[in-house]
Structure 1
Amino acid sequence: MPSYSRDEVVKIQHTLARKGFDPGPVDGVWGRRTEAAVRAFQAASGLIADGIVGPRTRKVLFGDDSQPAPVDDPGFPWFQEARHLLGVREDTSARSNPQILDWASDIGIPYRSDDIAWCGLFVAHCVAATMAHEPLPTNPLGARNWLKFGAPCQPQVGAVLVFWRGSASGWKGHVGFYAAQTPGGDFYVLGGNQSDKVSIAKIARNRLLGARWPATAPELHSAPHVAADDGSIFSTDES
């Protein structure tokens, strides 16, 4: 993946530090200390202290209103965390990947093995690790429970997409983040537990149950991010 988003976060961290707001290590990782520093800067600047580096905050912080592309926007910290984790795999032996188990431990979710479907856990980690005040749905391990997360929105970069799995009327589901869509409207989903790893999978649009946006983040209503169809086969049973 491009490194621009990490560079953008480094730029924000450097600027906050120069202005006297401690973001923690200047490492390009959007964590809770960086979010807290943004909130402190916003409060001191007479801005809404939402921890999001949106257009107004960028203008005050940097002295300009230039905006990165949505897929690189550090104002979507949960999505940038998801991108950062691309390639993380479950352990297909009798053991489990300790990194995945740590995600559950950090949030306080009982979770004993990465043999248990972890698409909901991945989304929960990305949100909780970067947005300290964002409420998670009850039992975030259940993919369809994410239909109660935040607020409904149009599919757009960073949105949480919930899909049925097996049958639309059943209980099984899958959840991940909108990364892009094909010209025909099918989705490229950045999610966990896709072929046993964090990856981008193509999922048919007729499986979509709903799109949700974090309650504490400003919704941009961005235009669909259309990417060429890469010819890959559709993912049909993420587990």
Structure 2
Amino acid sequence: MPPHIYALATKAYKCLMKSGVSQCMLVSGESGAGKTESTKMVVAQLVRISKSASSNLVEQIKEVNPLLEAFGNAHTVMNDNSSRFGKLIEIQFLNSGVVVGAKVTEHMLEKSRLVHTSDRERTFHIFYCMVAGLNKYERKRYFLADRPESYRLVDPGDGTPVFTSNEDYQRYHEMMVDIKHTMKAVGFSEQDVDLILAIMSGILHLCNIEFVQEPESGQVIILNENEIDAASVLLSLQPEDLVTKLLANTAW
């Protein structure tokens, strides 16, 4: 039989307690193989069999993965919850076996997904969660329209709706509720949550900016300055500075 996730996690913990030497587990496989779910099970098992001085800490460790998935996972042809980044999860123990903390280091985030996705694929979950799950007050706060199709980043671009069904819409709506709950559970303040959502909204507005080249002068101008204004407020930038950066001819 293939290695059992719970047995491997338990073995790693026992080796740690016996030898005092840090243990490592590598979860690998092709897209859709179950790496994300396997990692969740490993973390859950390590937390379950170890001791902890704080039940709140245990819950925070468990909540980290779903939060990372919202910002780093996306729907692909192979997997509707595909991780588009790699991560190193470190769980820290005392010599007595008590869990005292955890650290997550991300790497290789697929940033290109912000500007281009392949057919039948989507950008990161968080943007669909926001256009489906923010309330009226939050939409007003972040200058967001009611129609998800108003935003190029999530709009399929072929005339079809952003969400393929009511179930699809509800999934992201509920995910947004869970994201806000999880942020608070892991220790984010209301100001932290507001800042994160403002930055994500700023990206939605940036992706809506339209450029056009004047036929006579050849100069490139921005058509919809309202998106510049919204993005500038949300990202704490001066509109003129943002325009200058966007229109600058930079050679790499």
Report the structure number with the largest CA radius of gyration: 2
TM-score norm. by structure 2 comes to 0.26
TM-score norm. by structure 1 comes to 0.27
Greater RCO (CA < 8 Å, at least 6 residues apart): 1
